[in-house]
A and B are shown apart, each in its own frame.
Chain A
Amino acid sequence: SQTIHQWPATLVQPVGSPLSLECTVEGTSNPNLYWYRQAAGRGLQLLFYSVGIGQISSEVPQNLSASRPQDRQFILSSKKLLLSDSGFYLCAWGRSPGEKLFFGSGTQLSVL
């Protein structure tokens, strides 16, 4: 069966510090991978998606970047965090574009 792992579960970072969130998927190959953010009182906003190694599409101009160094690994990064980067970050995978997504357990990021 397929599983998705996302860590850490919670993170408190000072403004201006770097960020690296990692997500890995097991039990499938060539998944479509996604990073979403849920800010307080808002829905799920798509940040990045990837259909293959090294292929990243950005949905929203922002202070964040994503990379996919391996088929089942997706990384969300920032060089300098802003207060507005606080939120609940979710990694997800799908078998093909537009199909239902399977989400990780999320990372609650607080930038202080």
Chain B
Amino acid sequence: DQQVKQNSPSLSVQEGRISILNCDYTNSMFDYFLWYKKYPAEGPTFLISISSIKDKNEDGRFTVFLNKSAKHLSLHIVPSQPGDSAVYFCAARGSNYKLTFGKGTLLTVNP
């Protein structure tokens, strides 16, 4: 049972445009959500997070939006840069304090 879903395995955007990465979850007990970025052959690095009591968190070019009623969150990257090309993982924290990760979305930013 996949509780955190990233339904788009890949996304391609042009440099300078907006990248929108989506994540859906099924467990209403999730209270904290995170986005990680991963380059090939490297470990994931933390990007940005959001608590369930908020609906938006912004950090530079990265903004995460949370829609609790829809059990949906998204990561916006504006403007997209070629160095943003990587796999992006969505993760959620449950009542057992463990993080559950999605399968990831490969973002390619074309120059």
Residues of A bordering B, CB below 8 Å? 6, 9, 36, 41-46, 49, 88, 90, 92, 97-98, 100-106, 108
Residues of B bordering A, CB below 8 Å? 4, 6, 32, 34, 36, 41-46, 49, 89, 91, 93, 97-99, 101-104
Take A90-B44, A100-B46, A100-B49 as given contacts and tell me if A44 and B98 are in contact as well, using a CB distance cutoff of 8 Å: no
List 10 other contacts, CB 8 Å, given A100-B34, A106-B42. Answer: A6-B43, A43-B4, A43-B103, A44-B101, A44-B104, A98-B97, A100-B49, A103-B36, A105-B42, A106-B43
Chain B CB within 10 A, most for which of A6, A9, A42, A101: A101
Please state if B103 and A103 are interface contacts (CB–CB under 8 Å): no
B103: chain A residues within 8 A (beta carbon): 41-43
Please state if A49 and B98 are interface contacts (CB–CB under 8 Å): yes
Please state if B98 and A103 are interface contacts (CB–CB under 8 Å): no
Q: How far is A84 from B83 in the complex, measured between Cα atoms in Å? A: 33
Instruction: Tell me the minimal C-beta distance from B107 to chain A in angstroms.
Output: 15
Q: Tell me which of A6, A43, A98, A106 contacts B93 (CB under 8 A).
A: A98
Q: How far is A32 from B49 in the complex, measured between Cα atoms in Å? A: 19
Instruction: Tell me the minimal C-beta distance from A60 to chain B in angstroms.
Output: 12
Please state if A106 and B41 are interface contacts (CB–CB under 8 Å): yes
Instruction: Tell me the minimal C-beta distance from A106 to chain B in angstroms.
Output: 5
Q: Tell me which of A43, A88, A104 contacts B89 (CB under 8 A).
A: A43
Please state if B46 and A101 are interface contacts (CB–CB under 8 Å): yes
Q: Which 3 A-B pairs have the closest CB atoms?
A: A103-B43, A98-B97, A97-B97
Please state if B44 and A44 are interface contacts (CB–CB under 8 Å): yes
A104: chain B residues within 8 A (beta carbon): 43
Chain A CB within 10 A, most for which of B4, B32, B97, B103: B97
Instruction: Tell me the minimal C-beta distance from B50 to chain A in angstroms.
Output: 12
